[in-house]
Amino acid sequence: MANVNRPVLVRIVCLLAMAAVLWSCGSGGYGSSNPPPTPPPPAQLKLDLIVTGLSVVKIQASASTGTVVLEERLTSLTQAGPDRSLVILDLRGTETGRCAAPPGLAMIDFAQHPSGEISLVLATATAVRITRVDRSCTVLFELALDDPQAANDPFFDTGGLHDDHSLLPVFTRDAVRVAPIGESLAVALRSGRNATVAYRLDRAGAGYARAWRTLVEPGVSVFLIGITSGSYDEFHALENHMQLRIDADTSGNIVVGVPSKFQSAPIFAAHSAFFGEPIAAQDGALITRLSPGGTRIGTTVIDTRRPSEMHGLRIAGDDIAIVGRVFSEQRSDGSGWDAWSARVSRADGSLASYRPLDVEQGEILFDIGSFRDGKFIAVGAAGYTQNPTGASVSEASTPLLVILESDGRLAARIHFTPGIPFPVFARQNQVRTLAAVGETWLIGGLVNGPGTHSGDADPRLIAADGYARELTIPN
């Protein structure tokens, strides 16, 4: 794994809170009737990571091993991507490893295991490689994901491009995601037939062994969504219908989410035809639960009723929480996009709630997690506008952090600033990811990002600065 030097400033403060110990000194002195002194609490990591020229798109953290941050250099529509790299921090906040993909490969996703080791997903245009690294980013072993069955998965052909011998869609590499199951790994991808396939890889000595493969959704023709002008895809909206999301719990239960678009990715129709489960909806997402052994338990339909995108999925206790954005209404001022959240029961797959969220012009939610008292915490961006007949997103947005009731109603919006020493620009400001460590929340995102047309005349404006920081949410 190649190490790269990037213009990065890291500020980590690690505070050790010492507990005051009081002794009762009666006539017995330090007799056995007195309790032993209370040990001090463990160190609490105060994270304040600043990344110049890169955004932060994913954080995973552990109180026993440390934090891992996925960075991304923004790329124009004419550049191959994604361009992502990894930063690894120990419990003291010291950077112990930094890695980027070797030439010809792109880093797509990662998963941190309880041991502190990390599984990286690397991809060419057609192939997927899983690379296991330690906390210095030294390669421990690699697995080229080979799947001859992919060429024969059921395929509902309505035209468009596909590649039977590829493990990724023709139009994007950014269509594979992973989640840790202890030291094992759950993998889900969209193949060259645009089928959705899940795998479990178990740690076996100095390598991975495939435990099972499950077809989650059949292949279907997926069409490229183009743009008539502009140089940047603000929310990866042009390829979201080719992507998917995955999460897993420590017992090995897995959830896979796939977006469906009536015109460009008719997953609902293909699912109905293959599984014999009629779906009246046209746009939304399919949420499939898999057992630890890879058996399909059931699929839940989220009907968003309007064209939409799915951006985040988390197992949240007894629920599955999903977020994205939906084109609720075509408004002349471009404010017709709303964020949405949904909650699915893990027990029976019932759709407990689906609700759009309208707080400030346009909204989007990228990530969600369990909060106190049955509520949820979700992050994204608000205050943007979009061409009501196109895909062009405005230059400006504001960071969005909300507390949601269990049914998706807005409980509170928490206003904050990233708190980083960059000039304030009226450009894109987004919260992209969150992670919980006990009662502490880590959030990551970008400031000073571009809109769709920012780099049309000057490609250097397709850039942003990123952050990952601790945030205390008041009661």
Q: What is the pLDDT of residues 427-464, one digit of tens each?
A: 999 999 999 998 889 999 999 999 999 999 999 999 99
**Bigger pLDDT: 404 or 13?**
404
Burial class (CB in 10 A: 0-12, 13-18, 19+), 406: middle
Q: Which two tokens stand for residue 227?
A: 């743009």
**Bigger pLDDT: 46 or 314?**
314
SS3 306: coil
- Cβ neighbors of 86 (< 8 A, separation 6 or more) are 68, 69, 70, 71, 97, 98, 99, 100, 107, 110, 118, 120, 137
- Cβ neighbors of 266 (< 8 A, separation 6 or more) are 156, 158, 220, 221, 260
For the cut 90, the answer to whether the pLDDT of residue 327 exceeds it is yes
SS3 359: coil
Contact 292, 318 (CB under 8 A): no
For the cut 50, the answer to whether the pLDDT of residue 189 exceeds it is yes
The pLDDT, as a whole number, for residue 419 is 63
Cα 108 to the center of its chain, rounded Å: 11
What is the rounded distance in angstroms from the CA atom of residue 275 to the CA atom of residue 331? 38
Q: CA 334, 364, 119, 72 torsion: positive or negative?
A: positive
Cα 125 to the center of its chain, rounded Å: 21
The answer to whether residue 385 is domain-embedded is yes
CA torsion 175-75-89-370 (nearest 10°) is -50
* For residues 91-114, average pLDDT: 94
The pLDDT, as a whole number, for residue 424 is 58
For the cut 80, the answer to whether the pLDDT of residue 270 exceeds it is yes
CA distances (Å), origin 68, targets 61, 104, 221, 432: 6, 23, 36, 15
Q: CA 404, 410, 415, 418 torsion: positive or negative?
A: positive
Mean pLDDT over the full length of the chain? 90
The pLDDT, as a whole number, for residue 231 is 97
Place of tokens 């952050």: 467
* For residues 113-125, average pLDDT: 98
The pLDDT, as a whole number, for residue 23 is 25
* For residues 260-285, average pLDDT: 97
The answer to whether residue 3 is domain-embedded is no
Res. 9 pLDDT band, cuts 50 70 90: very low
The answer to whether residue 439 is domain-embedded is yes
What is the rounded distance in angstroms from the CA atom of residue 85 to the CA atom of residue 2? 10
The answer to whether residue 197 is domain-embedded is yes
Cis peptide before 82 (omega within 30 of 0): yes
Contact 121, 142 (CB under 8 A): no
The answer to whether residue 1 is domain-embedded is no
The pLDDT, as a whole number, for residue 420 is 60
Res. 314 pLDDT band, cuts 50 70 90: very high
Q: What percent of the chain has pLDDT over 70?
A: 89
pLDDT digits (tens, 9 = 90+) for 221-240: 999 998 999 999 999 999 99
Range of the domain at 402: 8-471
The answer to whether residue 63 is domain-embedded is yes
SS3 446: strand
* For residues 64-73, average pLDDT: 96
What is the rounded distance in angstroms from the CA atom of residue 190 to the CA atom of residue 194? 5
The answer to whether residue 2 is domain-embedded is no
- Cβ neighbors of 254 (< 8 A, separation 6 or more) are 179, 181, 186, 188, 198, 200, 246, 247, 248, 289, 290, 292
The pLDDT, as a whole number, for residue 259 is 98
The pLDDT, as a whole number, for residue 49 is 87
The pLDDT, as a whole number, for residue 47 is 81
pLDDT digits (tens, 9 = 90+) for 257-267: 999 999 999 99
The answer to whether residue 150 is domain-embedded is yes
For the cut 50, the answer to whether the pLDDT of residue 15 exceeds it is no
* For residues 245-255, average pLDDT: 98
CATH number at residue 241: 2.130.10.10
The pLDDT, as a whole number, for residue 45 is 60
Of 44-53, 158-167, 369-378, which gets the smallest average pLDDT? Answer: 44-53
pLDDT digits (tens, 9 = 90+) for 374-420: 999 999 999 999 999 999 999 999 999 999 999 999 999 998 877 66
For the cut 60, the answer to whether the pLDDT of residue 322 exceeds it is yes
Contact 111, 178 (CB under 8 A): yes
Q: What percent of the chain has pLDDT over 90?
A: 82
The number of domains in the chain is 1
